[in-house]
Structure 1
Amino acid sequence: MKINRYKKLVLCILLDAVGYVSFIIPGVGEFSDAVWAPISAWIMIKLYKGTAGKVAGVVSFVEEALPGVDVIPTFTIMWCYTEFFTEEKKEKSLSK
């Protein structure tokens, strides 16, 4: 099933917001990061296929597992990367 690119952007923003929950609820932060890190990596791999998705999954896991770097919007950055910087998108824009 292919997801519309803007629906995927909204989903990515929401997933990044879930990662921010550890900052909102005091005392729950580290536990929620330990649970969220593997889940976010798995979702990233499912959203973005191929090598880029696997690399993004590892980055997402590390970003969520390390304290203090949860503020990086990994899902949204990956969406921007796939929309604006991948070869497939460059070829489409050049052929127009």
Structure 2
Amino acid sequence: VLRKKQRDLILGLLFDAIGMFSFAIPFIGEFSDVVWAPVSGLLMAWMYKGTKGKIMGAFSFLEELFPFTDIIPSFTLMWIYTYIIKK
């Protein structure tokens, strides 16, 4: 469990960084969000199985798709919910 917990945290931080990186590049960044949004949603659903993964996958998809919402660290928030709050 500890290994999965660490893996999910590291991957989550990486995926959040990728999502936020597009925010740093004007115009090009918003285009890259169109590509990253479905990937982000699928990765979230893959990392967190079940209903919560599907719900957060949809949230992550929409969060990356809408402009100026890249600042939300959805993977990190899901990790906190899964391993700290729900524990």
Between the aligned partners of 2:58 and 2:27, the Cα distance in structure 1 is 26
The count of aligned residue pairs is 86
Q: What TM-score do the two structures reach when normalised by structure 2?
A: 0.91
Report which structure shows greater RCO (CA 8 Å, sep ≥6).
2
1:23 and 2:26 aligned? no
Structure (1/2) with the larger helix percentage: 2
Question: Please, which moves more after superposition, 3-12 or 60-69?
Answer: 3-12
Q: What TM-score do the two structures reach when normalised by structure 1?
A: 0.83
Question: Cα distance, 1:30 vs. partner?
Answer: 1.5
Residue identity (%): 51
Counterpart position of 1:64: 64
Aligned pairs for 1:79-94 (under 5 A) are: 79-86=79-86, 89=87
Question: Which structure's CA Rg is the greater one?
Answer: 1
Runs of 4 or more above 4 Å deviation: none
What residue ranges of structure 2 are gaps of 5+ in the alignment? none
